[in-house]
Amino acid sequence: MISVEEALGIVLSSLPGRKVEQVSFQDSLNRVLAEDLSATCNIPPFNRSAMDGYAVAAADAANAPVELDIYGESRAGGGMPGMLPPGAAMPIMTGAPVPSGADAVQIVEVCRLSDDGRRVTILKPVRVRENIAPLGSEAAEGEIVLKAGHRVGPAEIAVMATFGYSRVQVWKKPSVALFATGDELVEVDQVPRADQIRNSNAYCLRSQLANMGLESEYLGIARDNKGELREKMILGLERDVLIISGGVSMGEYDLVHDVFEEMGLEILFSKVAIKPGKPTVFARKGDTLVFGLPGNPISALVTFECFVRPALGSLCGMAQPQLHRMQGELLADMKQSSGRMAFFPAWVFWDGGGLRVEPLPWKSSADIIGFAGANATYIFPRNRDHLKKGEQVEVMLLPDFFFRQR
């Protein structure tokens, strides 16, 4: 049985090479850039007014209040203005080009226009370059504005549009298939017998994948016989990643490990010192990664976040594919059997003095209802059997941490 850290290291060192694809810039949201993007022009492309007001030579307003002649106008999209003569002021709008001959813009609030509109009184002095965004001050032509490895958000989409990148290269998303195993499972729209339960794991895992922006192909339920497992496996191995829920423990009908061996998969580990989720299996068949996750719902959820998410995130080009971890103050004494790193449900919140970690009651690794109220897990180190109230503990924030409400 290997540690969580060792298991994750094996997963990340076993990844195949990443692939690049070109997509429309609008479709690159939440993807990771596989190329540097450089400024194709200066931004701003001219000395740009940051305020509505009057473009002036700062020297002409040094002894304000001073009255200056009105000359021309500069507005956004109205063309480049002519040169401003000495002793004159030009009405200018936010975003408009500053005329040559002017080196400052005084805001309209401290200017007073004459009744005939031919002269303006500048009531206060203005500094050179005040209220002006100089040419190229936001980006100079040729400067790298987005680096490879950068995850694309709305602001990045705007940057691409600014510089005319209608198509960009991103790391290709891996294709993913998954299925659940077990004679006891029926689908959501079926009524289970007294000895059956509805399949929840596959839909939880699909939701976790969707949270990462990944589509998945659901292959259904494989019954506890090797023939059905092989059929589903053959289909799943056509994808980059195959996720199997259930059938990985030591029971008579837990057949996944046997089928892996019979089909020639390279099994890289089959037990991890993690709670919940000890019987997690990781294997490869060529470049296809295969994760055999335990059948208990919380075990499947936690092992996905600890092992599957980092693998998929890395394949997508993410520099930090793991969930965020932080430190917080534990609000109750907690105990567990030592020997495995444990991930238990918690509600983590900020009270102004730091993060607080409230352990949530749960009954077992099958208690997904108890886990549903969590926005994080708190982590028991492998060598600890007791955490004290008031102690600083490590927490792993779940993907929807910032959207959860109690």
Q: Is CATH 3.40.980.10 the right assignment for the domain spanning 4-17+174-315? A: yes
Could you give the CA distance from residue 287 to residue 16 in angstroms, rounded to a whole number?
A: 6
Give the residue extent of every domain in the chain: 4-17+174-315, 20-43+138-171, 48-133, 325-403
Q: Which fold has domain 48-133?
A: Molybdopterin biosynthesis moeA protein; domain 3 (2.170.190)
Q: Is 251 exposed, middle or buried (0-12, 13-18, 19+ CB in 10 A)?
A: exposed
Do you find a cis peptide bond into 276, omega within 30 degrees of 0? yes
The domain over range 20-43+138-171 is classified in CATH as 3.50.50.60: no
Beta bridge partners, 396, equal: 325, 377
Residues 6+ apart with CB under 8 A from 310: 8, 11, 12, 321, 322
Q: What is the largest CA-CA distance in the chain?
A: 97
pLDDT per residue of the chain (406 residues) written in tens, 0 to 9: 899 999 999 999 999 999 999 999 999 999 999 999 999 999 999 999 999 999 999 999 999 999 999 999 999 999 999 999 999 999 999 999 999 999 999 999 999 999 999 999 999 999 999 999 999 999 999 999 999 999 999 999 999 999 999 999 999 999 999 999 988 888 888 888 888 888 889 999 999 999 999 999 999 999 888 899 999 999 999 999 999 998 776 555 467 888 889 999 999 999 999 999 999 999 999 999 999 999 889 999 999 999 999 999 999 999 889 999 999 999 999 988 889 999 999 999 998 889 999 999 887 777 788 888 899 999 999 999 999 999 999 999 999 888 888 7
The whole-model pTM stands at 0.86
Please tell me the predicted confidence (pLDDT) of residue 250.
59
**Pairing state between β 241-245 and 176-181:** parallel
* Cα–Cα distance for residue pair 294/393, rounded to 1 Å: 26
Residue 182: predicted pLDDT: 87
Q: Where are the beta strands (DSSP E) in 294-340?
A: 325-330, 334-335
Composition of the chain by helix, strand, coil, percent to 5: 20, 30, 50
| C-alpha span between 265 and 257 (Å, rounded) | 10
Return the structure tokens found at 348. 């983590």
Assign a CATH topology to domain 325-403.
Beta-clip (2.40.340)
Q: What pLDDT, on the 0 to 100 scale, is given for residue 253? A: 45
